[in-house]
Structure 1
Amino acid sequence: MSELDVNLPSTRQIQGSIKDKIQVSIKLLTGDVFVGRIIWQDPDCIFFCDTTDRKTLIYRRAISHIQYP
C-alpha cells in the first residue's frame, strides 16, 4: 500500500474539507451520488458520512469526481 501524498493539491483539498467539516458531493463512476462529509481518507479509500448519518467506505478508484459547494 502506498502512502498518502500530502504534497498533492487534491489531498490537501480533501484534508481541508475534513478539517472544516465541509459538505461535499461525491459522484461514483456508476453514477451514484453521495452528499455529506468526508470523515477520513487513506491512499485507497475515503470514509464518508451522508446527511442521514449513514457511513460508507468508498474506494478512490470508484470515484468520478468530488464537488464542493
Structure 2
Amino acid sequence: MSNADEKRVQKLAERKGFHLEKAGHGNSHGRFYIMNVAEGARMRSGAADHEYSFSLEEAEAWLSAYSK
C-alpha cells in the first residue's frame, strides 16, 4: 500500500478516536498499532503471531468495522 493509503487509514483512525502508529523493528516491521487515544492502550488484532499489530489492510478493516 502507498503512503496515501497509510494517510487515509490514519484519518479513519482519528475519526474513530484512535491513532495509527508504525510498529517498527523486528517481527512487526511493516505493521501498525491502533492506539486508543483516551486510554493510551494498543488494540488487539486477534492475529496469533501479531497479537497487537495490524497490516495496513487489517487496520483499515478493523477500523471500518469498529463502532462505539
TM class, shorter-length? 0.3 to 0.5
TM-score when normalising by structure 2: 0.39
Q: Which of the pair is proportionally richer in helix?
A: 2
TM-score when normalising by structure 1: 0.38
Q: Which of the pair is proportionally richer in strand?
A: 1
